[in-house]
């Protein structure tokens, strides 16, 4: 099953990401122990599937694997 933006929002909400802005998208940040700040944004179209090319970029932003993503929701 391809991930949706709803899955991505659930992952962020459950895994230490903090919503910093809610405008055209939900914008999230996560501060790592070394002080580095990770950022991602989530579309409000929660039922929409995330296209494959974008999904690869999002996994890099989240610094996780697809397997760990699914475990995290």
Q: For the range 55-62, what are the long-range contacts, defined as Cβ-Cβ under 8 Å and sequence gap of 24 or more?
A: 55/2, 55/3, 58/8, 62/11, 62/38
pTM exceeds 0.85:
yes
Q: What is the pLDDT along the chain (73 residues), one digit of tens a residue?
A: 799 999 999 999 999 999 999 999 999 999 999 999 999 999 999 999 999 999 999 999 999 999 999 999 9
């Amino acid at each position: 099953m391809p991930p949706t933006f709803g899955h991505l929002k659930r992952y962020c909400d459950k895994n230490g990401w903090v919503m910093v802005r809610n405008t055209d998208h939900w914008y999230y940040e996560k501060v790592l122990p070394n002080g580095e700040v990770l950022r991602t944004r989530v579309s409000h179209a929660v039922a929409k599937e995330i296209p494959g090319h974008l999904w690869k970029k999002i996994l890099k932003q989240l610094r996780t694997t697809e397997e760990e993503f699914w475990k995290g929701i």
